């Protein structure tokens, strides 16, 4: 299994050369720098601690400065742990870049869902709304709390009620990588991923078998190259 940490930047659409459109989420994947190697002998489990996004030297405290100096790397804003057999060959100071994943690979994306505050059952659980006609004043209520006479002195645990909605760890399984670009530090993933814009996400190899035939990602158009070619053609025509 492979893993890498990135930042969700939003959604857009890209086109294949035959005109196929892919709705994709853009994940900025700056190089993940290995800041610590955890081993089963010393720490009880094997993992890599990585740093994401460089941090201003003026904002680094003494403890952090010592930790990063030990790995001989620059201070970072985010520290996270990633696991996987395919990451075992990395050493302190090595960088894990966006080309860890290739177009067509199936991945899972882990993020923190958008926080929606305190919500009623209609929004939180998708309950049916109450009648609005004939003088009914019961539109968005939670419904009866009775337990069918079995034990009406309490509410049975697990009942779906109003409460805090969102801001929880969420994983979307079996998404497909449309493109990865290590030079420009981004990965395009088909479909939506959890969390608001600018939130951190972890991309990992899919852990569950994908049902049906694997999706084939077609070669994408290079719109930037096409625009440059068109611009050059216009300039050449003007020169004539």
- Give residue limits of the domains in the chain: 3-115+168-239, 116-165
Instruction: Provide φ and ψ at 181, rounded to 5°.
Output: -135, 105
| Domain 3-115+168-239: assigned CATH number | 2.40.30.10
pTM, to two decimals? 0.84
Sign of the Cα torsion 27, 29, 30, 35 reads positive
State the Cα–Cα distance between residues 190 and 218, nearest whole angstrom.
12
- Is 240's pLDDT higher than 70? no
pLDDT in tens, 37-67: 999 999 999 999 999 999 999 999 999 999 9
pLDDT confidence tier of residue 225, bands split at 50, 70 and 90:
confident
CA separation for the pair 229, 79 (Å, rounded): 42
Kindly report each contact of residues 151-158 with a partner whose C-beta sits within 8 Å and lies 24 or more positions away, as own/partner.
none
**3-class state of residue 235 by DSSP:** helix
**pLDDT-derived band at 84, boundaries 50, 70, 90:** confident
DSSP 46: -
Residue of 199 and 143 predicted with greater confidence: 199
What is the tens place of the pLDDT at every residue in 141-162?
888 887 776 677 788 888 899 9
Do the beta carbons of residue 206 and residue 173 sit within 8 Å?
A: yes
Query: What mean pLDDT comes out for the span 179-202?
Result: 95
Coil, helix or strand at residue 139 = coil
């Amino acid at each position: 299994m492979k893993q890498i940490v990135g930042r969700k930047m939003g959604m857009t659409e890209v086109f294949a050369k035959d005109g196929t459109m892919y709705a994709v989420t853009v994940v900025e994947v700056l190089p993940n720098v290995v800041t610590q190697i955890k081993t089963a002998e010393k720490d009880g489990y094997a993992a890599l601690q990585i740093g994401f996004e460089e941090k201003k030297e003026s904002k680094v405290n003494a403890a952090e400065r010592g930790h990063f100096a030990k790995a001989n790397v620059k201070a970072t804003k985010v520290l996270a742990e990633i696991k996987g057999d395919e990451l075992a060959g990395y050493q302190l100071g090595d960088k894990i870049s966006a080309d860890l994943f290739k177009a067509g690979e199936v991945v899972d994306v882990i993020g923190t869902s958008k926080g929606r505050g305190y919500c009623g059952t209609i929004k939180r659980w998708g309950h049916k709304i109450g009648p609005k006609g004939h003088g009914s004043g019961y539109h968005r209520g939670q419904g009866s709390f009775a337990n069918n006479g079995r034990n009406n002195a309490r509410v049975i645990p697990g009942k779906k009620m109003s409460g805090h909605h969102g801001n929880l760890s969420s994983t979307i399984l079996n998404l497909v990588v449309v493109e990865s670009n290590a030079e420009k530090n981004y990965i395009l993933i088909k479909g939506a991923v959890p969390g608001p814009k600018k939130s951190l996400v972890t991309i990992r190899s899919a852990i569950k078998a994908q049902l049906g035939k694997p999706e084939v990602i077609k070669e994408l158009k290079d719109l930037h190259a096409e625009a440059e070619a068109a611009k050059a053609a216009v300039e050449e025509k003007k020169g004539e």
